[in-house]
């Protein structure tokens, strides 16, 4: 009998709702912000040396929260230098939120924004078809490599677009996170199809070493409050379970035994810790900075 479980990505509206709830219930953006405040200034210290314009490419820029923080750090390092910021983002909804955010942010006078409603794969295909290979001073791919067809090829392609002093920043879930435990154990039970694949920082040394790339890894501590996942019928809990498993209506469509095992796993130390009466899922991230 065919499984009734379907990928969460087949319903973009529910995916976005679950993603926004995840951001609200997790310290994801807080932990990225700490990295941007503490480590990013050193990472970008020489990307614009001698440049009349700094070119930044955001792959999967979402609603722009992290993009604008990155741009503020580039501006602080290179005051008054114009920045050309191009954004690749497949969701029209996210792009419109990004544009609203830009409209409400001051100090962006020297930044030119261009949005492309497309995936990273589509961008690469379009550039190849147009025989273009524009070079960039900074490229960042934050939490988006799960949605490309061929991860090593995508990393090699965007790395090939770096200028001589540029950097490529990748942020994704850590190999030491609860995601690693959950997906290594149960990933094969989830209806991933070709829309999404599981990858963590644990997979990256092999990918980067085999491509002969130089890189640095930074571990970013983060957690997600999943207490509501254990309350039967809780709407937030159901949305978070969808997000954790990338499954549409997981609570309603997963076989009862899978649901029982998975919710049991989520409570274990490999995934989460109990703190002040809450179940906090280990949402640690890893930032990978790749040299040109």
Q: Any alpha helices (H) in the chain, and if so which ranges?
A: 12-25, 28-38, 40-43, 65-77, 92-103, 120-129, 151-159, 178-186, 204-210, 235-245, 250-253, 256-267
- Rounded to 10 degrees, what is the CA torsion of 45, 116, 95, 70? 0
Contacts of 143 (CB under 8 A, 6+ apart): 60, 171, 172, 173, 285
Cα–Cα separations (whole angstroms), residue 43 to 39, 80, 169, 205, 218: 7, 19, 9, 19, 11
Strand partners, 272: 281
Buried b / exposed e across 118-136, counting CB within 10 Å, b at 16+? ebbbebbeeeeeeeeeeeb
Strand partners, 113: 85
> Per the annotation, does 28 bind a ligand?
yes
Known binding residues: 28, 283
Known binding residues for substrate: 28, 283
């Amino acid at each position: 009998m065919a499984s009734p479980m379907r990928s969460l990505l087949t319903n973009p509206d529910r995916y976005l709702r679950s993603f926004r709830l995840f951001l609200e219930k997790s310290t994801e953006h807080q932990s990225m912000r700490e990295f941007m405040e503490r480590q990013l200034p050193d990472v970008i210290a020489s990307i614009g040396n001698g440049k009349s314009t700094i070119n930044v490419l955001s792959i999967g820029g979402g609603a722009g929260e992290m993009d604008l923080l990155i741009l503020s750090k580039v501006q602080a390092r290179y005051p008054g230098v114009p920045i050309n910021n191009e954004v690749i983002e497949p969701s029209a909804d996210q792009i419109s939120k990004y544009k609203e955010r830009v409209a409400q942010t001051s100090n962006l006078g020297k930044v030119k924004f261009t949005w492309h409603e497309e995936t990273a794969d589509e961008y690469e295909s379009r550039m190849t078809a147009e025989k273009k290979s524009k070079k960039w001073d900074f490229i960042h791919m934050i939490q988006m490599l799960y949605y490309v067809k061929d991860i090593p090829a995508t990393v090699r392609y965007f790395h090939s677009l770096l200028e001589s002093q540029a950097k490529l920043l990748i942020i994704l879930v850590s190999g030491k996170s609860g995601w690693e435990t959950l997906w290594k154990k149960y990933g094969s039970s989830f209806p991933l199809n070709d829309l999404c694949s599981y990858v963590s920082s644990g997979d990256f040394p092999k990918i980067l070493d085999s491509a002969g790339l130089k890189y640095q890894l930074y571990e970013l501590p983060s957690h997600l409050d999943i207490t509501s996942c254990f309350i039967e019928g809780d709407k937030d809990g159901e949305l978070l379970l969808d997000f954790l498993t990338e499954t549409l209506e997981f609570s309603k469509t997963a076989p009862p035994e899978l649901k029982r095992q998975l919710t049991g796993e989520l409570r274990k130390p490999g995934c989460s810790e109990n703190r002040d009466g809450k179940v906090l899922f280990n949402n640690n991230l890893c930032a990978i900075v790749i040299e040109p």
